[in-house]
Structure 1
């Protein structure tokens, strides 16, 4: 069904056990209803079930007002990181245009920066895809239903981690529709799909150690449309 968000929340920085920096997601509903309690309980239960290096670590909950979820503190969202990287590359490009270079030749330092950024972007894509694969590995599978750059966070080591599971739902059992039937024919990898989602284009022909077409498990895709 269509996602319906009944909760609003504010995120604060806090400290757990006087030494661990954490993110405190405090829910701020206008009225405490059964739907509010159900949605909070659902998100808390799913956070507690997900244990993966590319999923934000969950520490616990606080149910006495205010109602809070306590999780790992990260540095920035993937959206913030990619915008900052794009701005840096644009600045480098403008600076290089002012240099006396051979026509049509890109300065060596700019080429190096572009290659480095491509590798960083690929790592983010792999991290994001691993997080989604983790959710889909459950039986029945969980669907996040709100994948976007702001729901992926980067920690101090630039590891990309999935967060915000308020809209997540499990795939209904006994599904009769072919839309959710796994297929095993040769098809674009999940990594390529993630590339398009976050960066607006696919890096065609790029192969990564984690997602190769010669690995049958990575060739299985679920149709959603």
Structure 2
């Protein structure tokens, strides 16, 4: 599952974990990304020290069988982590799905946790690039699902997603225990507060947020990439 940050990605990981037949992995390449770029993200040193930072080792694990002998392996990937120089060959062994969210909502949410986001930080350009690469491999558009559709009708959206992936849908995906998941990355205390308090998907969101001019310009840069993928999204 390829998304940018602040994009319902953790809730989706929890939904798949709640199936009972699914192993999950939270942002496999985050430590490798931080080590390779030198970026100063919250908890950077702890993340690099506490998670695998060799991208080749991470990629090999992503292409391997699911941990614990589970039949389904959900990997929550951030598009921005797949920087040039990281081998993407492992993606050919996976079903690649693209989780999208309107950039105005992404920027508003991201800025509350880390000020001054850039276009590179929010992952839309990278998401479109990965989408095009997978489409070229497949000969057709890969699966796209919009967070707005999930929140509008979680059962219908996740049922459509499971159908597209040829795995059974289960009502277990609609609820999970509050308090986080053992698979959470070390960064969870900084980023996952709202989803840790949740036990299911939140209600549909209201109007798009009003943003200051600098952030509105950032949204305008990201919007064409979002719109292009949104045209291919699943309909529940």
Instruction: State if a TM-score over 0.5 links the two structures.
Output: no
More helix by percentage: 2
More strand by percentage: 1
Larger radius of gyration: 1
TM-score by length of 2: 0.26
